[in-house]
Amino acid sequence: MANPTLNPRGESVLRTLIEAYLEAGEPVGSRLLAKRYPEPLSSATIRNVLSDLEDESLVAQPHTSAGRIPTERAYRYYVDRWLKAQPPGPELEGRLAAALDGLDLDPESWARHASRTLAEVMGGVCVALPQPLTRSRLVRMEFVPVGPGRLVAVWVGSQGEVDHRLMDNLWNYPDTVLTELGNYATDQFAGLTLAEMRARLLEALRAGAQEGESLRTRLQELASRWPDGGGPGGDPPVLVSGLGRMGGLPEFEDVSRFRGLVAAFEEKGRLARLLNAFAERASEDIQLLLGSENPYLDGWPLATAVRTVGLGPAGYVTFALVGPLRMDYGRVMGGLRWWSGQIQRRHGGG
């Protein structure tokens, strides 16, 4: 559908309607619009403007006698043009700071605490997916000697994390060979996880590839001894907090509708795909998905704010804060930006 074309009055009425609905959660009638509108408008003029907004699929009328509510398309129009992230005040900062506690714990333990706190403070459901460093994708690799029979393997990953692992240099490779191995790994295996790099090396060695075989063999010897640092296999758990609060919202007062929502959040595979799909982009800034823009929770009137935070050598965690489309976007975006900024500062921006 093409972008809506609104004149200044249409934009102003739409913004007034959206902000009134965000505050009250009730369909907005022409009388309330007239009271809130900054200039005097007749009822006939407001009805004409609302009719134009309906033609653009920006407002809907739930019942014949009811007022109007914004559509998903209207929220996207609002977010793209008028949203201003609100820096949290001291009270909200203090509550969000509680979700920073335990950053020195392993990613899963901290993510469990942080997701519960974020769900309580920001409202809605918070879904978290801890990603150990073994899921990081290679950007650059270096091997640095640190004395007889020892070296440090340096993995620079796709989320900006830098991991240093002390290893035995059982083969006493000289500096020149270690530099060549790091350059070779960076050139050949950028974009792969450690597990994928190991598998690619083994495939090449089994195939008896001649070009660079000596380097592959030496790199495979090192990669096979690189400590994973993760758990004993299996996928990291998807953590869900705050789902019960959604049942108290007008959008989910109907019991059967709320049960359907609960069932959607119980499909952990679906949630993991959501978080993985947006993890990389969310490491740069919050990704805000409205309604059908989220293919993994399509069909639900939900807004999803996704943010990935790096935890240094421990890995990273992707969070998704999910709430109704009638979300306080300024508060949520401002709060999440402040909170993730605090984490980045503690880990040197990684």
Q: Could you tell me the maximum CA-CA distance found in the chain, to the nearest angstrom?
A: 87
CB 69 within 8 A of CB 29: no
Tell me the CATH class for 90-132+235-346. Answer: alpha beta
Of 92, 30, 15, whose CA–CA distance to 61 is shortest? 30
Distance between CA atoms of residues 235 and 200, nearest Å: 21
Residues of the chain with pLDDT under 50: 229-234, 350
Question: Which pLDDT value is given to residue 206?
Answer: 67
Domain positions in the chain:
8-82, 90-132+235-346, 136-225
Cα-based distances in Å from 98 to 104, 163, 239: 14, 27, 18
State which fold the 8-82 domain adopts: Arc Repressor Mutant, subunit A (1.10.10)
CB 121 within 8 A of CB 319: no
Residue type, 93: E
Cα torsion 38, 43, 46, 50 to 10°: value is 140
| CATH architecture of the domain with residue range 136-225 | 2-Layer Sandwich (3.30)
Question: Which pLDDT value is given to residue 118?
Answer: 96
Beta bridge partners of 322: 125, 304
Question: Which pLDDT value is given to residue 132?
Answer: 67
The number of C-alpha atoms within 13 Å of 323 and in the hemisphere containing its C-beta is 21
Regarding pTM above 0.85, the answer is: no
Question: Which pLDDT value is given to residue 347?
Answer: 75
Distance between CA atoms of residues 332 and 309, nearest Å: 16
Question: Which pLDDT value is given to residue 153?
Answer: 85
CB 143 within 8 A of CB 182: yes
Question: Which pLDDT value is given to residue 268?
Answer: 86
